[in-house]
Amino acid sequence: MAVAFAPGTGAQNDTANLPAPMTSPVIPAIPERKPQTEAGADKKTKADAALHAPDEAEWEGEEGGDENNRDTAEDTPQIPNASPFKTDKADLPPLPKRKPIPAKSDVKHSGPAGPAPLPEEWSAEEITRANAQCENLLADALFEFEPLKPVRNGVCGTPAPIELAAVRASPTVSIRPAAKLNCQMASRFHRWMAEIVQPSAKTHLNSAIAGVINVASYHCRTRYNDPAQRMSQHAFFNALDLSGFITAGGKQITIAKGWEGETPESRFLKEIHEGACKIFGTVLGPEANAAHRDHFHLDMTKRRNGNYCR
């Protein structure tokens, strides 16, 4: 079928409606380099030689650093601005020699771990110092006692124990049986008798006290005989347990029977218990616990916050 074209139009005229053809971008021409002069080439060669040349000072005086053994610049190029300090192994100090770690079988143990065991005996200095203290405390002839040999039984004992039979406290108060104490405890017991017990007995009992019933003094044991407890002050000759008192007329007043009630005996016992708290470090009685329901416990424990009294 023939295609008719309008006058003035045709396939050859259709190119007017097509977009303009794309042209390549204009690339600027590379400027021509000037030929290098002989002086410029010589200057670059010298700079390269200076950059890559080995440090001459590094070879002066070095063993084996002769000209024949020196590496060329091409083989060992140098880094510019490198640290001027040498890192040759020959310049480093030798490492300290370490002792070899012994094998387990070679390790020698000096002894069992823990605190050193106590000496079996008191030193002469400790005994002398304790005896001097006893002379100061018991010098006024108010005590009837026998010096005992120093006692050391593990942690128990004291360097200058005595056996106290009586104290002269207007009148003399006997201890039945005699108590094994240290001198400080004996001195405080005399003070309690003279300042507290005798005045209270005269007030409430209308009689003086002539004797006390001792149920425990020195005994190497823990508190309440319980292995889980700390050592008792009895273990250091530093405690006395009393179960009763005997008046000058021969009347016996026991703590087990006389503590309760509003009797003269009860008032006497409670007053001397309270007075003991001003003299001893620890005072325990029937109101402390069941273990002390029938006696007073007196000792010289030192405490930061004052005496303990129950």
Successive 10-residue mean pLDDT values, the chain, 310 residues:
41 46 54 54 48 37 38 45 52 74 60 64 93 92 95 94 95 97 97 97 97 96 86 94 97 96 96 96 94 95 85
Q: Where does 92-172 have alpha helices with state H?
A: 124-137
Please check whether residue 10 lies inside any domain of the structure: no
Q: Would residue 16 count as lying in a domain? A: no
What pLDDT is recorded for position 166?
97
Q: Do the domain assignments include residue 92?
A: no
Number of H helices, E strands in the chain: 6, 11
Please tell me the pTM assigned to this model: 0.62
Print the domain residue range for 205. 125-309
Pair 270, 287: CB distance under 8 Å: no
Domains: count for the chain:
1
Answer yes or no: is 41 within a domain: no
Pairing of strands 282-284, 296-299: antiparallel
* CB 256, CB 294: distance < 8 Å: yes
Residue 262: inside a domain: yes
Domain membership of residue 252 (yes or no) is: yes
- Residue 110 domain-assigned (yes or no): no
Residue 245 lies in a domain: yes
Are the CB atoms for 242 and 295 separated by under 8 Å?
A: yes
Which uninterrupted H or E stretch holds 144?
Answer: strand 143-147
Q: Supply the pLDDT for residue 224.
A: 83
